[in-house]
């Protein structure tokens, strides 16, 4: 398998000069500032370039340069805080035919059907350094997709990449002594069959590898150690039009891991309506619920959250209002409320676009709940944020 992949990569690299002739590129520069404890600051530059010769050869490269700063950060954190860090968000080459596609390199996979929580989205690690702005991280992989309206996709990751741990103000106090580094685990394999049946988009997923959510173990020393436990999972997703402007979505997954198995499910409905307050406006809203057959504590006995399950028994909603239906000015309100622990997270924002390149977003974040709950533990992190984004 590795010899075949090496030969394929060499063949694809030899075609890059030809691919460059058909290159398309664009990028974004983001300045993000929070008015809160530590006054965290983030500067990020991302540039995306890709090429397609028209005869089946393709490539994509997405370098990223990021600087994060905050006061009082833990010295052990190595996620790029305080110094600029360059990385490749995505970098792959591929071959494509009429009904098939092969890609090799760092990739991001989206197997989700629902928003925020997706039991079927199992492959990519996450950046949990700021738990209110979680991002997917690209991972080296070989992927094969075959089919049209009904398709099968096979993904193999030779080694799982560790997720970034919470940092600074988002590091749980009980885990402040975390010293042991994270280590990449073994390979991951995912298979996804997708299609349309009776006007419903569906997919079936089988996965074998490790959890993307870091767990914390106590080791001799004593010291805390981040690890990613082995995981097997099977999932189903459905999405179907429900009325003129509504879409109903469902994801169900069975997880099998050390200590037993459980089923997690997410159901949502989203709706888009025009002429809501006045002629020419647009309102988009989504309501979602996540649950499980096994009630889980949001925080374990060491004070560490299980990020894959902290939003179970939660009602989530998001509403976005565009007064002119042109995406130049948006008002958005979103929230998460736990029906069991009664903790919650709220975010209100106003976004304004000037021209086609510059966008400004002002947002307010508030967390509520008892100290032992997930969001309640972060009540001191309520903040106002400002983001400026320039696209070119």
The CATH fold of domain 2-391: Porin (2.40.160)
For residue 303, say if its preceding peptide bond is cis, omega within 30 degrees of 0.
no
Domain ranges of the chain: 2-391
Give the separation between CA 311 and CA 290, rounded to whole angstroms.
Answer: 7
- CB of 204 within 8 A of CB of 236? yes
Distance (Å, whole) CA 235 – CA 264: 9
Strand partners, 390: 29, 358
Residue 225, C-beta contacts closer than 8 angstroms, at least 6 positions apart? 178, 180, 216, 217, 218, 219
Q: What is the torsional sign of CA 205, 206, 209, 213?
A: positive
Report the 3 state secondary structure along the chain.
CHHHHHHHHHHHHHCHHHHHCCCEEEEEEEEEEEECCCCCEEEEEEEEEEEECCCCEEEEEEEEEEEEECCCCCCCCCCCECCCEEEEEEEEEEEECCCEEEEEEEECCCCCCCCCCCCCCCCCCEECCCCCCCEECCEEEEEEEEECCCEEEEEEECCECCCECCCHHHCCHHHCCCCECCCCECCEEEEEEEEEECCEEEEEEEEEEECCCCEEEEECCCEEEEECCEEEEEEEEEEEECCCCEEEEEEEEEEEECCEEEEEEEEEEEEEEECCCCCCCEEEEEEEEEEECCCCCCECCCCCECCCCCCCCEEEEEEEEECCCCCCEEEEEEEEEECCCCCEEEEEEEEEEECCCEEEEEEEEEEECCCCCCCHHHHHHCEEEEEEEEEC
82 in Cβ contact with 92 (< 8 Å): no
Q: Which pLDDT score is estimated for 78? A: 43
Q: What is the pLDDT along the chain (392 residues), one digit of tens a residue?
A: 445 445 555 555 555 555 555 689 999 999 999 886 556 789 999 999 999 877 889 999 999 999 887 644 444 344 445 677 888 889 999 999 989 999 999 999 999 999 889 999 999 999 988 889 999 999 999 999 999 999 999 999 999 888 888 887 887 766 665 555 566 678 999 999 999 998 999 999 999 999 988 877 777 766 777 788 899 999 999 999 988 889 999 999 999 988 788 999 999 999 999 998 899 999 999 999 999 988 666 666 666 778 888 899 999 999 999 999 998 999 999 999 999 999 999 999 999 999 889 999 999 999 999 988 889 988 888 999 999 999 99
CB 65 within 8 A of CB 86: yes
* Res 182: pLDDT: 61
How far is CA 225 from each of CA 88, 296, 332, rounded to the nearest angstrom?
A: 27, 21, 38
354 CB neighbour count, 10 Å cutoff: 10
Torsion of CA 10, 14, 16, 19, to 10 degrees: -120
Nearest to 165 by CA among 141, 207, 137, 138: 137
pTM reported for the whole predicted model? 0.84
Please, which residues bridge with residue 272 across strands?
284
Rounded CA separation 212/54 (Å): 36
C-alpha span between 137 and 89 (Å, rounded): 7
- Specify the long-range contacts of residues 260-264, CB closer than 8 Å, at least 24 apart: 260/294, 262/292, 262/293, 262/294, 262/296, 263/292, 263/293, 263/294, 264/119, 264/290, 264/291, 264/292, 264/293, 264/309, 264/312
The per-residue pLDDT for 75 is: 40
Sequence-separated (6 or more) residues with CB below 8 Å from residue 208:
188, 189, 190, 231, 232
pLDDT confidence of residue 300: 64
């Amino acid at each position: 398998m590795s010899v075949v992949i090496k030969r394929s990569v060499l063949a694809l690299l030899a075609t890059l000069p030809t691919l460059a002739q058909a290159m398309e590129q664009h990028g974004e520069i983001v300045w993000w500032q929070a008015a809160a404890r530590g006054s965290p600051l983030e500067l990020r530059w991302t540039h995306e370039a890709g090429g397609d010769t028209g005869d089946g050869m393709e490539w994509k490269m997405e370098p990223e340069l990021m600087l994060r700063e905050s006061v009082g950060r833990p010295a052990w954190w190595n996620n790029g805080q305080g110094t600029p860090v360059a990385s490749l968000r995505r970098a792959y080459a591929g071959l494509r035919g009429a009904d098939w596609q092969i890609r090799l390199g760092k990739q991001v996979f989206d197997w989700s059907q629902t928003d925020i929580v997706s039991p079927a989205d199992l492959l990519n690690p996450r950046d949990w350094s700021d738990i209110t702005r979680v991002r997917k991280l690209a991972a080296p992989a070989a992927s094969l997709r075959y089919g049209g309206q009904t398709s099968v996709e096979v993904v193999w990751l030779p080694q799982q990449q560790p997720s970034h741990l919470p940092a600074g103000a988002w590091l749980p106090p009980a885990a402040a002594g975390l010293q042991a580094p994270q280590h990449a685990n073994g390979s991951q394999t995912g298979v996804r069959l997708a299609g349309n049946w009776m006007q419903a988009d569906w997919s079936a997923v089988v996965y074998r590898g490790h959890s993307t959510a870091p767990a914390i173990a106590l080791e001799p020393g004593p010291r805390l150690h981040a690890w990613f436990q082995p995981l097997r999972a099977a999932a189903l997703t459905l999405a179907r039009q429900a009325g003129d402007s509504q879409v109903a979505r469902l994801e169900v997954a069975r997880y099998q891991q050390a200590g037993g198995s459980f089923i997690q499910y997410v159901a949502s409905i989203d709706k888009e309506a025009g002429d809501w307050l006045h002629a020419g406006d647009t309102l988009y809203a989504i309501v979602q619920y996540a649950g499980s057959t096994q009630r889980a504590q949001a925080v374990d006995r060491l004070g560490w959250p299980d990020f894959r399950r902290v939003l179970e028994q939660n009602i989530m909603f998001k509403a976005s209002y565009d007064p002119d239906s042109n995406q130049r000015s948006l008002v958005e309100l979103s929230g998460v409320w736990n029906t069991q622990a009664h903790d919650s997270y709220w975010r209100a924002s106003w976004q304004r676009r000037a021209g086609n390149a510059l966008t400004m977003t002002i947002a307010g974040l508030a967390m509520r709940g008892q100290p032992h709950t997930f969001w309640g533990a972060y009540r001191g992190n309520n903040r106002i944020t400002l983001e400026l984004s320039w696209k070119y």
